[in-house]
Amino acid sequence: MKKIIENKIKFGRVVILGRPNTGKSTLLNAIMSQKVAITSPMAQTTRKNTRVVFENENGKIIFSDTPGIINKVSDLIGKRVNTEAPKEVGRADIVLCVLDISRPKNEEENKVIGLVRKSKAKKILVYNKIDQAIGSKDHLAEYNYLEEEFDKVISVSAIKEKNIKGLINLIFEMLPEKDSKSTEEDAEIMQAKGKPVIGLNSKDYIAEIIREKAYLFLRKEVPYSVNVEVDSVVDKKKLILIKARILTTADRYKKMIIGVGGKKIKEIGYNARKELELMSSRKIFLELLVEIDKHWAERDIER
């Protein structure tokens, strides 16, 4: 009983930072126990900051998943994506800096560390992929020196959902007991809008699922040429009819996305449909076209 009285309900903002591919989006999905962000082995899979509300008996947290920051980018989208994480850090109560300790450290980490250093928020260093960081793949010793810049350090496996509860408890412990009315209100507004249970009512979410499958089945630079637009979602009672287009910037990419005899696009469409059916428990018909649109990146920047 005493513990409950002592435990004040807390509200806070937590921003997840890290270089690309460290498992930030996988970690957010593990925290939320559902898929709220797409993931893939390609860098900068996440293109925009994604905010969701986590709630338990200790309070509510607005988590922001950010795209991984890359040191040198020349393309339009990469440049725009690189500006996302810095925008989010200012209002954070806590920043989580996610590291992939199964991969050697290199200078790519420095930009993220620089951003963390500038932040006035409390700081947690998260060693991720401990399931994979074994034997010659254990690079923990290369990252250890960073610990002194952080308030706390924790090891997790986002994919195996190891120590996720420990991380959530640590976050609640570290959240300041300050007046957090605006965070509380923002969390309520987001929850009223139906987040994090984003579903088929969200064209953006469907587009993300399709983009994820394109990332999984396409290689090299092709995924970076891709954007997905969902034109319509119609409930036909027996099934849901979704019309969507994969946009790409060049004819050679379009050919690769379609594949020999349409094999690739079928694979992408099949896997997107299966996932959307599983999520919605409805039958889905997905009409997926590939189109050349040289200017989608410019439009994306203006948004």
Which residues lie near ligand GTP (CB under 6 A)?
Answer: 18, 20-26, 39-41, 43-46, 67-68, 128-129, 131-132, 157-159
How near is the Cβ of 172 to ligand GTP at its closest, in Å? Answer: 22
Residue placing its CB nearer to ligand GTP in the complex, 40 or 183: 40
Nearest to 155 by CA among 226, 230, 100, 207: 100
If contact means CB under 5 to 8 A according to the sort of partner, which of Mg ion, ligand GTP, none does residue 50 touch? none
> Which of 24, 93, 27 minimizes the C-alpha distance to 59?
93
In the three-class reduction of DSSP (H, G, I as helix; E, B as strand; rest coil), residue 34 is classed as coil
Closest CA to 15 of 97, 100, 130, 132: 97
DSSP string computed for 229-273: EEEEEEE-SS-EEEEEEEEESSHHHHHHHH-GGGHHHHHHHHHHH
Could you say which of ligand GTP, Mg ion, none residue 20 binds, taking C-beta under 5 to 8 angstroms by partner kind? ligand GTP
Question: Would you count residue 227 as binding Mg ion (CB under 5 A)?
Answer: no
Residue 139 binding partner per list ligand GTP, Mg ion, none, with a CB distance cut-off of 5 to 8 Å that depends on partner kind = none
CB of 24 to ligand GTP, least distance (A): 4
Helices (H) and strands (E) in the chain, counts: 12, 9
Alpha carbon distance 300, 207 (integer Å):
14
105 touches, from ligand GTP, Mg ion, none (C-beta below 5 to 8 Å by class) = none
166 versus 262: smaller Cβ distance to ligand GTP: 166
At its nearest, how many Å lie between ligand GTP and the CB of residue 83? 14
15 phi and psi angles, rounded to 5 deg:
-110, 130
CB neighbourhood size of 91 (10 A): 14
Least separation in angstroms between residue 39's CB and ligand GTP is: 3
CA dihedral 85, 88, 92, 94 (to 10 degrees): -20
Q: According to CB under 5 A, which residues from 24 to 43 bind Mg ion?
A: 24-25
Q: Does 46 help bind Mg ion (rule: CB under 5 A)?
A: yes
**Nearest distance from residue 24's CB to Mg ion, in Å?**
5
Q: Where do contacts with Mg ion occur on this chain (CB under 5 A)?
A: 24-25, 45-46
